């Protein structure tokens, strides 16, 4: 998560005597160098320091793309100087963005009878802010038109939602109604959702792929429950699908699953191009079923070829290169290419899940059958070590496998989660299983419990 950085006492670093063989000098790192150290020394200093970062390919915590074809990376470097908001200056980048929105809206079965509308964003978080704002505006307009108070909006989601939803609620002053996870119910269900809805509900957000375990929330059933709710109460509540990861998985791996605009109540959908859309960060997408779902007051115009182009965005300037890269991936892989890449990730995830279950002390919470993501817990009889110790041990080998607890009511459930993405091979999976087996063996050999060093607050999940 982006941190708010504090000013610290100024420090300096030893630089110069590196690969370039220059003189050894101290250089300030927290304040601007008075003269600049020149590109070679600066490159040496920074690239050396960045070696301390974990290896992106071994980062099994992230959903974000860590491997793209060489040509895509080249195209991104070639277009790094394009600002996507300058539609007038870069009309072809704007055209490519338009094509991407079209491709994605068709992938999500936007009805041919209506004009779907969509835009690129920096990622799913911005897309969620935009879509949730549209829900709030629509709700408020409907309330005002009916002469009813519009000062207490709420939004219903599962407690397992990604933090961007809580962020939206806090920043836009909407009451978050987080449906608790409970027992074996680890995400939002149709039975629970309506219990939390009322006339002040701006919308229900369903997640297609829970960040905690990769499971899909039952969008069609949730929508059907809201249909019944409307029949009983007259209250019409739209559904937004947060398909940050699933938006680029389900169309290829579960094509018959109806989670998208095939479900009439789904008003809008977001996904991260930089997750299973297979692009480096940061690009996301938001699509609305039709113009009615996106209030006109939220749209701003920018100059475009002597006229105006409507935009909906929280930022202004943003790189065009990610949009170009998204179109490159669509064009070069096509439907079948995406299907193959996602199927490979799913095969590796299920292979890994089976391997993990076979080690002994682990119970699978999910198996990688929806997103290529699974999580696993320690069996209750394991008392000498925790999933946090397993995560630490794997880090010694370079693997970044996060451990965390579920939200309130299931904080007793602590899991490790593995996200399989493009670039993870069966060979790497075998190495991971070998390391996990060895580290688990070491931990199993302990004669007494490892002292608990983590405060409960450090176990909260921030992804």
Ligand X SMILES: Cc1ncc(COP(=O)(O)O)c(C=O)c1O
Site residues (CB under 6 A) for ligand X? Answer: 63, 123-125, 162, 164, 207, 211, 242, 244-245, 272, 284, 463
Q: In the numeric block, which tokens belong to residue 181? A: 């996870």
Tell me whether residue 45 or residue 271 sits nearer to ligand X (CB atom): 271
Tell me whether residue 242 or residue 367 sits nearer to ligand X (CB atom): 242
Can you tell me the distance from the alpha carbon of 368 to that of 127, in angstroms, rounded to the nearest whole number?
25
Q: How far is the CB of 132 from ligand X (least distance, A)?
A: 11
41-69: string of b/e by CB count within 10 Å (b at 16+)? beebbeeeeeeeeeeeebbbbbbbbbebe
Q: How far is the CB of 128 from ligand X (least distance, A)?
A: 6
Can you tell me the distance from the alpha carbon of 413 to that of 418, in angstroms, rounded to the nearest whole number?
16
Nearest CA-CA partner of 131 in 213, 44, 204: 204
Can you tell me the distance from the alpha carbon of 368 to that of 388, in angstroms, rounded to the nearest whole number?
21
Q: How far is the CB of 238 from ligand X (least distance, A)?
A: 18
Start-to-end C-alpha separation, the chain:
7
Q: How far is the CB of 274 from ligand X (least distance, A)?
A: 6
Q: How far is the CB of 144 from ligand X (least distance, A)?
A: 30
Tell me whether residue 63 or residue 229 sits nearer to ligand X (CB atom): 63
Is-contact 436 360, C-beta < 8 A? no
Helix (H) or strand (E) holding 270: strand 266-272
Tell me whether residue 178 or residue 382 sits nearer to ligand X (CB atom): 178
The 8-class DSSP code of residue 184 comes to T
Tell me whether residue 59 or residue 272 sits nearer to ligand X (CB atom): 272
Q: In the numeric block, which tokens belong to residue 59? A: 């980062």
Can you tell me the distance from the alpha carbon of 350 to that of 3, in angstroms, rounded to the nearest whole number?
34
Can you tell me the distance from the alpha carbon of 209 to that of 371, in angstroms, rounded to the nearest whole number?
6
Token pair 């938001």 in the structure block, residue: 286
Tell me whether residue 274 or residue 289 sits nearer to ligand X (CB atom): 274
Tell me whether residue 257 or residue 309 sits nearer to ligand X (CB atom): 257
How far lies 58's CA from each of 68, 143, 191, 215, in Å? 15, 50, 39, 22
Burial of 92 (0-12, 13-18, 19+ CB in 10 A): exposed
Which residue number places its CB atom closest to ligand X? 123
Q: How far is the CB of 214 from ligand X (least distance, A)?
A: 9
Phi and psi torsions of 160, nearest 5°: -85, 5
Tell me whether residue 243 or residue 293 sits nearer to ligand X (CB atom): 243
Tell me whether residue 171 or residue 426 sits nearer to ligand X (CB atom): 171
Can you tell me the distance from the alpha carbon of 399 to that of 211, in angstroms, rounded to the nearest whole number?
19
Q: How far is the CB of 458 from ligand X (least distance, A)?
A: 19
Tell me whether residue 215 or residue 272 sits nearer to ligand X (CB atom): 272
Q: How far is the CB of 209 from ligand X (least distance, A)?
A: 6
Q: Would you call 59 helix, strand, or coil by DSSP?
A: strand
Q: How far is the CB of 252 from ligand X (least distance, A)?
A: 18
Can you tell me the distance from the alpha carbon of 213 to that of 185, in angstroms, rounded to the nearest whole number?
12
Q: How far is the CB of 217 from ligand X (least distance, A)?
A: 10
């Amino acid at each position: 998560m982006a941190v708010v950085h504090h000013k610290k006492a100024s420090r300096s670093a030893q630089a110069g005597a590196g690969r370039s063989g220059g003189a050894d000098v101290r250089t300030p790192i927290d304040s601007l160098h008075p003269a600049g150290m020149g590109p070679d020394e600066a490159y040496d200093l920074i690239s050396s320091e960045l070696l301390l970062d974990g290896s992106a390919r071994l980062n099994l915590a992230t959903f974000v793309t860590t491997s793209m074809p060489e040509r895509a990376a080249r195209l991104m470097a070639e277009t790094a100087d394009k600002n996507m908001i300058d539609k007038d200056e870069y009309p072809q980048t704007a055209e490519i963005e338009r094509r991407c929105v079209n491709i994605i809206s068709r992938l999500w079965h936007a009805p041919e009878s209506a004009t779907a509308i969509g835009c690129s964003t920096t990622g799913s978080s911005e897309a969620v802010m935009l879509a949730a704002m549209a829900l709030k505006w629509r709700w408020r307009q409907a309330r005002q038109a009916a002469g009813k108070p519009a000062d207490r909006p709420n939004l219903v989601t599962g407690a397992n939602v990604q933090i961007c939803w809580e962020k939206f609620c806090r920043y836009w002053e909407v009451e978050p109604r987080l449906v608790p996870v409970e027992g074996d119910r680890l995400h939002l269900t149709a039975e629970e959702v309506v219990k939390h809805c009322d006339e002040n509900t701006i919308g229900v957000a369903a997640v297609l792929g829970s960040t905690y375990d990769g499971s899909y929330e039952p969008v069609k059933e949730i929508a059907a429950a809201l249909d019944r709710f409307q029949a009983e109460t007259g209250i019409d509540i739209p559904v937004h699908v947060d398909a940050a990861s699933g938006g680029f998985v389900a169309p290829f791996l579960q094509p018959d699953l109806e989670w998208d605009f095939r479900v009439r109540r789904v008003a809008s959908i977001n996904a991260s191009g930089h997750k299973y859309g297979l692009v480096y960060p940061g690009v996301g997408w938001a699509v609305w079923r039709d113009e009615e779902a996106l209030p006109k007051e939220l749209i701003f115009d920018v100059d475009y070829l002597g006229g105006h182009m409507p935009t909906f965005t929280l930022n202004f300037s943003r790189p065009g290169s990610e949009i170009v890269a998204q179109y490159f991936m669509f064009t070069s892989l096509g439907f079948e290419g995406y299907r193959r890449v996602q199927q490979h990730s799913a095969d590796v995830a299920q292979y890994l899940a089976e391997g993990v279950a076979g080690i002994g002390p682990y119970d699978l919470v999910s198996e990688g059958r929806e997103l290529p993501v699974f999580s696993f817990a320690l069996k209750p009889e394991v008392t000498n070590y925790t999933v946090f110790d397993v995560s630490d041990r794997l880090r010694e080998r370079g693997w970044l496998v996060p451990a965390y607890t579920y939200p309130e009511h299931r904080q007793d459930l602590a899991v490790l989660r593995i996200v399989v993405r493009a670039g993870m091979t069966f060979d790497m999976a075998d190495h991971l299983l070998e390391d996990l087996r060895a580290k688990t063996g070491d931990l199993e050999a302990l004669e007494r419990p490892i002292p608990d060093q983590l405060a409960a607050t450090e176990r909260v999940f921030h992804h």
